[in-house]
Amino acid sequence: MAVPVRADLVAVPDYNIPATAPDAVLLNSNEVPLPPPPCVVEAIARAAVDGHRYPEWFSDTLVSRLAADLAVPSAWIAVGCGSTSLCRDLIQAFCSPGDEILCAWRSFDAYPVFARVAGVRARTVPLDAEHRHDLWAMLDAVTPATRVVFVCDPNNPTGTAVGSRELLEFLDRLPERVLVVLDEAYREFVDDPDVPDGLALVRERPNVAAVRTFSKAYGLAGVTIGYCVAAPAVVSAVHKVSVPFAVSRLAQAAALAALDRPEDVRARSAAVIRERNRLYARLVRAGQPATPSQANFVWLPLGERAAEFAEFCARHGVLVRAFPGAGVRVTVGLREENDAFLSAVARYREP
């Protein structure tokens, strides 16, 4: 007889793992197309020599470096396996069974999954007509059971961002007992000065946490490391629920080396922004309903045509990410990869 699995896990969807195919152009996972600089690769190799030793429990060396770079005390920083794992830890640290989290939809798929796994209800609020967070509707959706609100800014998968004034008004009206998690995984790709900086908000508001990652602009998706900046009480709670030694020596070494090369991060981000804006402009000229983006991807709100469009692109050698019934997310790749996608778009005809 098989060991019984938790009954409530039946309702938890499996993660939609991006597909791969030989010789295909991969624009279906939000990676940057350029590898890390040689100094980062060398740092990973050096760290591997001590692979028989456990890493620092709380990534103290990296925390100290981030604290200096970000001008916040070390007690305000927690390091984890990317921003995703930190979002999970924040749910576990602040929610009990019967509590709720609140997020926009569509937004990052993992939020409601993490909530359900933790035995917490996930409530979602539809994006507005411009595919942005509807912060006023989210305020109306807050209940006494709401413990954590996620604001993905820029939003995954739509690439849209909220403005500073509306976010400040939202925070002013939200009960202080509710933790607001600003998921800023794509912050480095923002070129709109009106998009708020979560780190500035964290310094002023004890119920705000900002999570960021080295996986995107830093080109370290393969080692998976990120950080949370929040008041010491929030960071302490995250430490209590985090998996011991989860952040490897290799990941910590890679992040430290990447922080030594800020010019590489700026150059990589600028290249992605240029290609993103070119891709968006070409899609609009082609008559496709692209959404202006502040991330390293572009959203096509194709609704019921999403799956069919993605399948058409796959037949032409380009893999994009379909969200059936909603839209298609296209990661910004190298210029030639983006041109391959645009070539497929030129051949596409609506059914």
Closest CA to 45 of 252, 250, 224: 250
* Cα 105 → chain centroid: 14
pLDDT at position 1 over 90: no
For the sheet with 226-229, list strands across it: 77-80, 226-229, 208-213, 179-183, 146-152, 100-105, 121-126
Do 32 and 48 lie in one domain? The reply is no
CB of 181 closer than 8 Å to CB of 151 = yes
Reported as a pLDDT band with limits 50, 70 and 90, residue 351 is low
Taking each continuous run of H as one helix and of E as one strand, the counts in the chain are 12, 11
Domain edge (last residue) among 259, 289, 305: 259
Instruction: Judge whether 276 lies within some domain.
Output: yes
pLDDT 10s digits, 123-150: 999 999 999 999 999 999 999 999 999 9
Do 25 and 73 lie in one domain? The reply is no
Do 47 and 116 lie in one domain? The reply is yes
Q: How far apart are CA 197 and CA 294, in angstroms?
A: 13
Do 136 and 221 lie in one domain? The reply is yes
pLDDT 10s digits, 58-90: 999 999 999 999 999 999 999 999 999 999 999
Mean pLDDT, residues 117-121: 95
User: What domain range includes position 21?
Assistant: 9-36+263-347
Do 231 and 305 lie in one domain? The reply is no
Over its C-alpha atoms, the chain yields an Rg (Å, rounded) of: 20
Do 43 and 32 lie in one domain? The reply is no
Reported as a pLDDT band with limits 50, 70 and 90, residue 349 is confident
Domain CATH number, residue 102: 3.40.640.10
Q: How far apart are CA 291 and CA 131, in angstroms?
A: 8
Q: How far apart are CA 146 and CA 176, in angstroms?
A: 11
Convert 125-140 to b/e letters by CB count within 10 Å (16 or more is b): bebeeebbbbbeebbe
Domain CATH number, residue 329: 3.90.1150.10
Do 128 and 24 lie in one domain? The reply is no
Is 0.85 topped by the overall pTM?
yes
pLDDT 10s digits, 89-108: 999 999 999 999 999 999 99
Predicted confidence at residue 286, as pLDDT, reads 94
Do 242 and 313 lie in one domain? The reply is no
